[in-house]
Structure 1
């Protein structure tokens, strides 16, 4: 087998992928694209990859592009936490010893021209071992495997995303005087200033104060076709929330990753810093979070299968979906809240619940169940625990089936919201 036959050899592209590849080539020629950023989300939610020239990108759609798997040995501070030179690299998978290369194979359906970077495009990649098997540690692979299992049972996942983030103005980058960091020790963050003052919520005046900075972000997201619904003024000064229209599972994950990188890069180009960190170490700032509204839908018709038919909060499938999320909630926290910074939010009587519980339209519960009889696009579950601590900025801060009878709603105490 020649290297150029990798994608064909392992039958990695479906007919729609080949059509998308041709469309990507047409776009490259029409737009005069010079560089394509081929990226994949790592285990911490950061985008890794390379900037390929057009000839190298075209070759990657046939042969893949080799890259080291080294980032998967890193913790959130980029310290090596597994021994790459042990027989299995510290993982329970054969073939990972010695930090081998993996193949980045572009997903041509995600090819996107970046409006803020001249003659530059971006495409998400899937990672493969040299034998054509999917790289088992890649988050995109894990998600695709899960969605395939759902599809085999006639289901698909539908998701709506709400993401909170901070917008600050860079006062001093500090380059030349700050610590540049070391493996396991983050670099000193830049000095920043808030862009607003005072705690409020949904205050339109706050949005207007930062409109000049939000506008290029909004325009870029619109140009890329992301289904953005709103930009909101969150509770704390300089805190924003951005919401999306519903998307299927993989598209929702890609959209969230693309939104973060878009927001960060455009803000930085305009002298600002966008932080998705759970609790930035800035006096007066509150914690960031994000919410993932999810429904299980019929794979063929798209009908929401969680809509209740009687006086129950959700359908039987919906109840089991919530029950499974509760059953695996503690274990899932290892992945959804990977930092001490994120765990600092876990406390009673807060908007980041600290126990396994569900409640009907109750923001204090881990699983907020939103029930809409007859509202076929509305009934859903909103996991609120653990999805609020992704370490994605330069700042540093200080299932199983269950029957309906196993689920008892969380009753808030006085003062809980």
Structure 2
């Protein structure tokens, strides 16, 4: 009898060896529990915790998961009428809260450092007949990477992630049964540093206890953490990660956010990757995505240019980027408005796009310009030449964020687009502005046929319906700050 992993087409000698290795490791380490985790549409990990003896069976046969988990908005309300006739007609394979199967990846196995005798496995959902679920966001990125591979390229990514850490002063608002609501309140908190003293060593020392927890957690999980920094805003910090391939970088971001929140919570801290926490005098957090392509045939950075193009100036992309790099840059610009909703997917995140705030406002690129949406870094002969996209918020689903870059940039390459001159006035007048609301961003995606083709119309319709549910509840909320506090600060 074949296993579920075999019916999914995943079973081979390498996977069988990895399953054996995990089973031995679980036994040798004396683990009692193993968490099987999956990343949902909003970048949040969900899953089931198994007793250790069930690990091998889970790796071979999967773990049941109710399909409505894929249909939730940010409040955990189901955005489709799954029990009504035709309620999931646009979602083949879904309906009546049927079961999917989470199949863990044995190569993802880790032992969690903040909780005793517990292992962890990353999983993806499959239909019970062995077909992958195309709405799964990791599958969406895998599909985008396959298209990039067919064009002869691989993607490399480095991450700069800003977020906030607070000390919990009272858990009652979140845990008091009399205050329970859907969604509920976060705990009461205070700052870990007062802010407005960028990179101050004294502020780092003041916040060292929680930052040490971030450091030891990331390193124990094998994440390529490079540095921890004090950002400008009160209680705001930044983590920087070394470059990896795109899928690994996305996986690392999902694990980092989840692990940091859990490990800090056990020590009495509340970490949030919400862009703009619901307090006065805060600074927005961004997620700056450094990206380049590798030529698969040569292994060389495909953005690298040895010499400036003849007759070019500093304002020309061809002065620094290869022809492929310029085309990719032009694709990101051409689809900036359409891809914005995958980079900044919450109502809250659009409050970041303000003038002179080190956040973009317009569809522009600049050479080492932190006010522009796209910052080109490097120069001729520099193997680290890359493009930094500064549009993202730290709550974004990394699989969708990265996939949007691939579809946009690849369209630029396939159409041979040219980039306009670089800006030296990122907050001046511009022909195209970034969306300023979630609704405008969803409309921009609807009006971008290349992105809809890249992601697939069915996925874009699904994504839009879930996000419209979130937007509708925000628009109906009498107290918008309270909505942000419950919807994002408590959960992201």
- 1:396 matched to which residue of 2? none
Tell me, yes or no, if structure 1 residue 135 matches structure 2 residue 133: yes
Report the Cα distance in structure 2 between the residues aligned to 1:172 and 1:353, rounded to whole angstroms: 36
Structure having the larger proportion of residues in helix: 2
**CA displacement at 1:413 relative to structure 2:** 5.9
Contact 1:308/1:371 (CA < 8 Å) preserved in 2?
no
| TM-aligned CA distance change 1:350 to 1:87, over 3 Å | farther
| TM-aligned CA distance change 1:291 to 1:61, over 3 Å | same
Contact 1:89/1:96 (CA < 8 Å) preserved in 2?
no
Report the Cα distance in structure 1 between the residues aligned to 2:306 and 2:13, rounded to whole angstroms: 39
**CA displacement at 1:404 relative to structure 2:** 5.5
Report the Cα distance in structure 1 between the residues aligned to 2:354 and 2:12, rounded to whole angstroms: 47
Alignment match of 1:257 (pick from 233, 254, 259): 254
Report the Cα distance in structure 2 between the residues aligned to 1:162 and 1:10, rounded to whole angstroms: 35
Q: How many residues align?
A: 404
Q: What SS does the corresponding residue of 2:133 show, helix, strand or coil?
A: coil
Report the Cα distance in structure 2 between the residues aligned to 1:292 and 1:407, rounded to whole angstroms: 21
Report the TM-score when normalising by structure 2.
0.77
Could you list the runs of 5+ residues in structure 1 that have no partner in the other structure?
393-398
Alignment match of 1:81 (pick from 60, 79, 82): 79
Aligned pairs for 1:340-359 within 5 A: 340-359=347-366
Report the Cα distance in structure 1 between the residues aligned to 2:306 and 2:171, rounded to whole angstroms: 57
**CA displacement at 1:159 relative to structure 2:** 0.5
Q: What SS does the corresponding residue of 1:123 show, helix, strand or coil?
A: strand
Report the Cα distance in structure 1 between the residues aligned to 2:257 and 2:419, rounded to whole angstroms: 38
Deviations 1:68-98 (A, max 9, x none): 1212222112222222235665463422222
Alignment match of 2:339 (pick from 326, 332, 345): 332
Q: What SS does the corresponding residue of 2:158 show, helix, strand or coil?
A: strand
Q: What SS does the corresponding residue of 1:385 show, helix, strand or coil?
A: strand
Contact 1:172/1:190 (CA < 8 Å) preserved in 2?
yes
Report the Cα distance in structure 2 between the residues aligned to 1:207 and 1:91, rounded to whole angstroms: 53
**CA displacement at 1:264 relative to structure 2:** 0.7
- 1:369 matched to which residue of 2? 376
Q: What SS does the corresponding residue of 2:79 show, helix, strand or coil?
A: coil
Report the Cα distance in structure 2 between the residues aligned to 1:110 and 1:389, rounded to whole angstroms: 22
**CA displacement at 1:154 relative to structure 2:** 2.4
- 1:119 matched to which residue of 2? 117
**CA displacement at 1:131 relative to structure 2:** 1.9
| TM-aligned CA distance change 1:413 to 1:227, over 3 Å | closer
**CA displacement at 1:189 relative to structure 2:** 1.5
Could you list the runs of 5+ residues in structure 2 that have no partner in the other structure?
309-317, 399-407, 430-492
Report the Cα distance in structure 2 between the residues aligned to 1:305 and 1:201, rounded to whole angstroms: 34
Report the Cα distance in structure 1 between the residues aligned to 2:203 and 2:112, rounded to whole angstroms: 28
Tell me, yes or no, if structure 1 residue 285 matches structure 2 residue 282: yes
Q: What SS does the corresponding residue of 1:137 show, helix, strand or coil?
A: coil
**CA displacement at 1:135 relative to structure 2:** 0.6
Between the two structures, name the one with larger relative contact order (CA 8 Å, sep ≥ 6).
Answer: 2
- 2:32 matched to which residue of 1? 34
Contact 1:278/1:391 (CA < 8 Å) preserved in 2?
no
Q: What SS does the corresponding residue of 1:85 show, helix, strand or coil?
A: coil
Report the Cα distance in structure 2 between the residues aligned to 1:287 and 1:11, rounded to whole angstroms: 44
Alignment match of 2:100 (pick from 88, 99, 102): 102
**CA displacement at 1:241 relative to structure 2:** 0.4
**CA displacement at 1:243 relative to structure 2:** 0.5
RMSD between superposed Cα atoms in Å: 2.3
| TM-aligned CA distance change 1:409 to 1:415, over 3 Å | closer
Report the Cα distance in structure 2 between the residues aligned to 1:252 and 1:308, rounded to whole angstroms: 25
Deviations 1:292-315 (A, max 9, x none): 101101235532111123322211
| TM-aligned CA distance change 1:403 to 1:359, over 3 Å | farther
Aligned pairs for 1:386-405 within 5 A: 386-388=392-394, 390=396, 399=408, 400-401=411-412, 403=416, 405=418
**CA displacement at 1:406 relative to structure 2:** 4.1
Contact 2:361/2:427 (CA < 8 Å) preserved in 1?
no
Tell me, yes or no, if structure 1 residue 62 matches structure 2 residue 75: no
- 1:395 matched to which residue of 2? none
